[in-house]
Amino acid sequence: MSGQPLPCAPQEIGSLFLFEKLTPEQLGRLCAEGRVEQFEPGPVYTEGEPATCFYVMLEGTVVLYRRVGGDDVEVTRTSQRGVYAGSMQAYLGDRVRQVYNNSMRVTEPTRFFVLPADTFAGIMQEWFPMAVHLLEGLFFGSKNTQRAIGQRERLLALGSLSAGLTHELNNPAAAAVRATATLRERVGKMRHKLAVIAQGSYSPEVMANLIDLQERTAERVAKAPTLSPLEASDREDALTDWLDDHGIPDGWRIAPAFVQAGLDEDWLDQVAAAVDEELLPSAVGWLNYTVETELLMDEINDSTARISHLVDAAKQYSQLDRAPFQNADVHELLDSTLLMLSGKIGRRIKVVKDYDRTLPRIPAYPAELNQVWTNLIDNAVSAMNSAGGEGTLTVRTARDHDRLLVEFRDTGVGIPAEDRGRIFDPFFTTKPVGEGTGLGLDISWRIVVNKHHGSIQAESEPGDTRFQVLLPLTAVEEESA
C-alpha cells in the first residue's frame, strides 16, 4: 500500500535515533534515495507479502500484529518516534526468503521515512560492513544452533520415549516368559497325572465324567468374575475348609487358583458327586492342573496383548505408516503419547483424562502434534518432580467455539511471573543446565501456530499450571495463514 508522498528533510531524518550519527552527505543520500510518505488509518503492509520497503516512523501510531489461525494477534502498539519495521533482513539478500514477518497498520495519520529494500541493503553493506558481518553471523549462527539443538531435543525425547517403551514392554514380556516356563512344568505334570489315571481301574463312564468336568472347568475359568481382595480371601478360606473336609492334601495351596478360576463349593460338590470318594483327590488334582494351565494361558494372552497394544501405540505415536496430513482423532494421539511417556510419568503422578468424546476428528499433522503433547507433558512432569515428585496431570479436551481445546494442567511448582512472557522464546528454559534446551516450547509454538494455524498459551500459579492448545476444527486456507 502506498501513502501520500511528502518532502524529505535531511534535518528531520537526522533527528531519528537510527540516523543521528550520520554525516550531512549521508543524510542527503537517504533523502535522495528514500522518501517520506503519510498513511491514513489502515494497513501499510501484510504478513507474507514480498518485503519491499524499510519503514521508520516520524510521527503517528503503529500497530504490528501476526496472524494466528484466523485471528490477528497484536504484537506491538507504539507512538515512539523512530521505531522501524519492514524489510529489516534485506541485507541478507536471497539467502533468506524476503517477506514481511508481520503486518503493520496505523491508527491515525502517520508519517514514515521509507527506504526501498534494495537501497536499504546497499546502504547497510556500504556504510556498516562490519555490522552486517556481525548480523549475518548472528542470524545464520542462531539458525544453525537452533537447528542443531532442535535435533538434539528430538533425540533426547526419542531416547526418553525409547527407555519408557522398553520398560513398558519388559514387564509383559517377562510375565509371558515366566508364565510359559510354568505352563511347560504344569503340562508335564498333567501328562504324568493322565498316565496315572489311565493306569487306574476307571470305567469309561468315570473317565467321561472327568473329561466333561475338565471342559466345564475350563469354561468357568474364561468367565471367572473379578473379586475384591476381601471376597477372594473369604472364598479361599471356604474352599480350603471344603478341601480339608474331603481329605484333599495341601488344600490351602489349591484354593487360591480355584478362587481365581471362579470355582466355588457348589462346583466342588458337583465334582465329588461325579466320581467315587477314593478318586476325588486325583480328580481334584487333575482339575487343579487344568485350572493352572488355563490361568497361565490367560496370563500369556494378556501379556502378549499388552505387548501388541504397546507396539500399536508406538506406531500411532510415530505415525510411521500413516499420511503426514490427515483427519486425526486427538484422543488417540493423546492416549498414545501418554502411554509412550508412562515410564517417565511414573506411578507417583496421577493422570486424569477429562475428554469430550463428542469432538470430531480434525485436519492435522498427527506426528507433529504428538511432539507437542510430548513437550507439554514432559514439562508438566518436570514441574511436579520439582515439587516433590507427586501430583496430578489432567489432560482435558473440549470445544471452544470453532476450535478444539487441549489443556494440560499440572500441580507442579508453577512458572515464575517474570518468566511467563518468555517461555515460548527459543533457548529459554527454567530447567537446570543440561536438562533442557529451551526449544521444546518454541518448537511446540511453531507446530501449533505456523503448521496448524492454532494458538498456544499458558496460565500459571504455584500448584496450578495450564497449557492450552487451540486447534481449528476445519482446514484453514493457506492464503489466510
Which CATH number is 335's domain given? 3.30.565.10
Give Cα 98 to chain centroid, integer Å: 33
Q: Does some domain include residue 82?
A: yes
Q: What SS3 class is residue 473?
A: coil
Q: Does some domain include residue 148?
A: no
Q: Does some domain include residue 156?
A: no
pTM passes above 0.75: no
Q: Does some domain include residue 151?
A: no
Q: Does some domain include residue 133?
A: no
Tally of CB atoms within 10 A around 321: 7
The reply to whether 120 and 207 lie within a common domain is no
Of 188, 185, 209, the closest CA to residue 279 belongs to: 209
The reply to whether 330 and 292 lie within a common domain is no
Q: Which residue range is the domain that position 60 belongs to?
A: 4-127
Give dist(CA 86, CA 119) in Å, integer: 13
pLDDT in tens, the chain (481 residues): 667 888 898 989 889 888 888 889 888 888 988 889 999 999 999 888 888 888 989 999 998 887 755 567 777 888 989 888 887 676 565 666 778 878 898 999 999 999 888 888 777 767 665 555 555 555 555 555 555 555 555 555 555 556 556 656 666 777 777 777 777 777 777 677 666 666 665 677 777 777 777 788 777 777 877 778 888 888 889 889 998 888 888 888 888 888 888 888 888 888 888 777 777 887 788 788 888 787 878 778 777 777 776 666 666 665 555 567 888 899 988 988 888 788 778 888 999 999 999 999 999 988 889 888 988 998 898 889 887 778 999 999 999 988 999 999 999 888 877 776 667 665 445 554 334 444 568 778 888 988 888 999 888 888 899 999 999 998 765 433 3
The reply to whether 337 and 398 lie within a common domain is yes
The reply to whether 304 and 332 lie within a common domain is no
**Exposed e or buried b per residue across 112-132, where buried means at least 16 C-beta atoms within 10 angstroms of its C-beta:** bbbbbbebbbebbeeeeeeeb
The reply to whether 300 and 339 lie within a common domain is no
Q: Does some domain include residue 155?
A: no
